[in-house]
Amino acid sequence: MSKSISGFSKLSKSKKIDWIVDTYFSHKEEAKSVIKQYWNTNDKLQQLHDEFIENTITNYYLPLGVAPNFLINNELYAIPMAIEESSVVAAASKAAKFWLHRGGFKAEVISTKKIGQVHFMYHGSFDTLKTYFKHIKPQLIANAKPITKNMEKRGGGILDIELIDKSSAIANYYQLHATFETLDAMGANFINSCLESFANTFKTEAAYFDGLKDSSIDIVMSILSNYVPECLVRAEVSCKVEELNEDDNVSPQDFANKFIQAVQIAEVEPYRAVTHNKGIMNGIDAVILATGNDFRAVEAGVHAYASKNGSYSSLTHASVDNGIFKFWIEIPLALGTVGGLTGLHPLVKLSLEMLNKPNAKELMKIVAVAGLAQNFAALRSLTTTGIQQGHMKMHLMNILNQFNADEIEKMAIIEHFKTNVVTHSAVVEAIENLRR
């Protein structure tokens, strides 16, 4: 049977499944039953999910967990997190509890500017192009009015458009570099529609400008940028050094010193920085997913920001000054609490309600705090007990499930590993002993 097909998207859902199963599976009925096992029994809900994307065959579940006790700017939050990695929610909860008794997290939005660009080619004098841009700029904005008028009513819209000469990087390459305020919307559709309108006006009006023709300007593409270094949020925790530790084996001063060394290593060593920041993204992505935002956009923008000084570096920083330990993060986050999935996916609506229906700025603060908390928990484990103790404790349940342990076996083995080191082979041995 051919493994390629044309017209797949036009087949009914059940015909799509038939084709996939017939073409790619040897145990056809088993494959079909796995696919169908995840269908929702509520037809309307299933249809909603079917229609989010093209060619849906089933749903892909992730657990939605909750990390309570987050005190952020004196408000208490329980943060919803959608993630598969065993230890992430537990680590976030632990960090939240730790800081709950030390004044909590402080967070502030520094800026909310978003960016989009029209990339084009132009063969001719830059002076003529500059004069044309100056002449046409008001019309670029005026022609986009049907798109911007509602956003403007709410206080947002186009902030500015600049002409940028990029011809030293690529011959004849120029940009319209536009900035936007999109308020509580992530704004991708708004920005892209504005940019396409700018591009259209910019090209067609050139025909009526002295020294230019519409063919003088060759539009390559119009698209928002997911790099948003001016859509920034900062979150911070601080306390007296002596309030830092709960562990009798490590003095608070030693803990602070090692913790700061760990951050400094991530600041100068890219191999460590990537893993350090990955831990931060464990927290960030989980909240981004739970709240229906675009984690790919956030990931791309955050990692670009981590390299803004020319070398990939830590997103968090730490210091001790006058006996005060301070730990903070500054990251770009373009988020939305209206539009997109936010009004559609029932679990996204539930997550936003759990967070007290935040606006985009409030969500930026919550997400930054989740990242900072996750990094605090990781560094605290790494510089004290090591990461595996906590990780393997959380991973224990996955190993038990791999071996189809029943409830009684699970209870016995969890009890056993309260006083023994969890490793994969130790768990296998314990299961075998129990079953013998």
Catalytic residues: 85, 278, 294, 391
Question: Rounded to an integer, what distance in angstroms lies between the CA atom of residue 104 and that of residue 289?
Answer: 24
In angstroms, what is the minimal distance from the CB of 296 to ligand MEV? 18
In angstroms, what is the minimal distance from the CB of 272 to ligand MEV? 8
Determine the residue with CB nearest ligand MEV.
279
Which one, 340 or 390, has the nearer CB to ligand MEV? 390
Which one, 95 or 348, has the nearer CB to ligand MEV? 95
Question: Rounded to an integer, what distance in angstroms lies between the CA atom of residue 275 and that of residue 281?
Answer: 10
Task: Give strand pairing partners of 71.
Answer: 76
In angstroms, what is the minimal distance from the CB of 371 to ligand MEV? 11
Residues 413 and 400: beta-carbon distance below 8 Å? yes
Question: Rounded to an integer, what distance in angstroms lies between the CA atom of residue 315 and that of residue 274?
Answer: 10
Residues 431 and 406: beta-carbon distance below 8 Å? no
Question: Rounded to an integer, what distance in angstroms lies between the CA atom of residue 99 and that of residue 84?
Answer: 25
Which one, 182 or 374, has the nearer CB to ligand MEV? 374
In angstroms, what is the minimal distance from the CB of 280 to ligand MEV? 8
Which one, 232 or 378, has the nearer CB to ligand MEV? 378
Point out which residues bind ligand MEV (CB under 6 A).
Answer: 85, 275-276, 278-279, 282, 378, 382, 387
Which one, 21 or 329, has the nearer CB to ligand MEV? 329
Question: Rounded to an integer, what distance in angstroms lies between the CA atom of residue 128 and that of residue 219?
Answer: 17
Helix (H, G, I), strand (E, B) or coil at 336: coil
DSSP notation for 77-109: EEEEEE---TTHHHHHHHHHHHHHTTT-BEEEE
In angstroms, what is the minimal distance from the CB of 389 to ligand MEV? 12
